[in-house]
Homo-oligomer: A and B are copies of this chain.
């Protein structure tokens, strides 16, 4: 969100410090990866998840009223939502999108641009909600409950949670993963021949899907070979590895 500002982007965006408010093991890892790819100087503020419920800590509310991460602060700009942050960085520091990154935002009006835009929205608008819901229904039967009701209640909760996954969540994920696999069978990166913002935005849900749905890396590479190969290409990038060293592991 950039409500405090009433002016346009400053003439020299490099004159302000970039601060990334980063929640460990979260979506913000992909912003860290882009910052590293673009070689931008930035300050990293890392927040630990709360023990027990693993939610974001209350300190993040001081940064943005929604209390979420990632949030990028750049001078008077406070930018929230992963995709909006990625687009903000690519737009504001277009001078850093060179070489390997020259197609970070593909030319408007091209299929690459439309594909990039689709994945930017699809990642959090369609894929993540089902992955999040899967996680909630997987964890629900494992919640602590009083020992005297557990033998009776736990099987019931377990059964109901399985039914919701079976009838509602899994059919959606079972359409999503083969669809993505088929798209990546046609081109090395999400938008086309070159790395684009779409790859950064998709990296978190793909990491989540391959970690939580495939069972093991071996099984992932068999089920979705192109998806697995794409993730290997991402992991092999030096900037990704620097981001990992600074931000910590992506999944929990």
Contact = CB atoms under 8 A, between A and B. Distances in A.
A84 B2 contact: no
Interface stretch (A18-26, A29-37, A74-82): A74-82
Interface stretch (A65-73, A96-104, A242-250): A65-73
A153 interface: yes
A121 interface: yes
Contacts of A55: 168
**Main SS of chain A's interface residues?**
helix
Interface stretch (A39-47, A107-115, A214-222, A230-238): A107-115
A38 B146 CA distance: 59
Nearest to A137: B136
Interface residues of A, number: 59
A193 interface: no
A84 B114 contact: yes
Contact of A179 (B2, B65, B153, B182): B65
A84 B122 CA distance: 9
A168 B108 CA distance: 40
Nearest to A132: B129
A91 B66 contact: no
As for how many copies of this chain the complex holds, the number is 2
B157 A118 contact: no
A117 B1 contact: no
A2 B114 contact: yes
A115 B3 contact: yes
Given A2-B115, A114-B88, A157-B156, A125 B81 contact: yes
A123 to B, nearest CB: 8
A17 interface: no
A189 to B, nearest CB: 14
B111 A6 contact: yes
Contacts of A211: none
Contacts of A132: 129, 133
A129 B49 CA distance: 20
Q: What 7 pairs across the A-B complex have the smallest Cβ distances?
A: A124-B125, A129-B129, A81-B121, A2-B114, A83-B121, A9-B109, A65-B179
